[in-house]
Amino acid sequence: MAYTADMGSAANRHFVDGCKLQDESRLDNAAYHFGLAAECAVKHQLQRHGVLTDHSAYWKHWPDLRPLVLDALSGRSAAPLRGLMQRDNYLQHWSIEMRYAATGTVSPAQTVRWRAHADEAMGLML
């Protein structure tokens, strides 16, 4: 079955799942979903700013995604997303490879921080 990418829908789904997992103290998976929610929200924003879905940014993960997003963005309307991507601490230490990490690897503070980062990216979708 072929799947159609819907970055906005995926962002919402991953954020909700992350919140539920955090409520259950399943921090490793919650943090993973918050990072995915942030990535999908950023990619959704790229589409809104006219970046075509065949751009390499759509299929990269953090931290490789960051410079591609910055290179793809232009114009005044992209300033909020560009500002988010320019922050050195945004999604700092989050990586797609964390899905293989041992349980207990992610700290409560990291989970809270990545949830806040995902929330910021989700807010740009409004």
Give the dihedral sign, CA 22/88/38/40: negative
Total residue count of the chain as it appears in this document: 126
> What is the pLDDT, as a whole number, of residue 2?
79
Backbone angles phi, psi at 102, to 5 degrees: -65, 145
Gyration radius of the chain's alpha carbons: 14
Instruction: Give the mean pLDDT of 16-36.
Output: 98
Q: What is the pLDDT of residue 4?
A: 86
Band the pLDDT of 112: cuts 50, 70, 90.
Answer: very high
- The fraction of the chain above a pLDDT of 90, given in percent, is 86
**pLDDT greater than 80 at residue 1:** no
Confidence of residue 19 (pLDDT cuts 50, 70, 90): very high
The chain-wide mean pLDDT, for the chain, equals 95
pLDDT digits (tens, 9 = 90+) for 30-87: 999 999 999 999 999 999 999 988 888 999 999 999 999 999 998 899 999 999 999 9
pLDDT exceeds 90 at position 16: yes
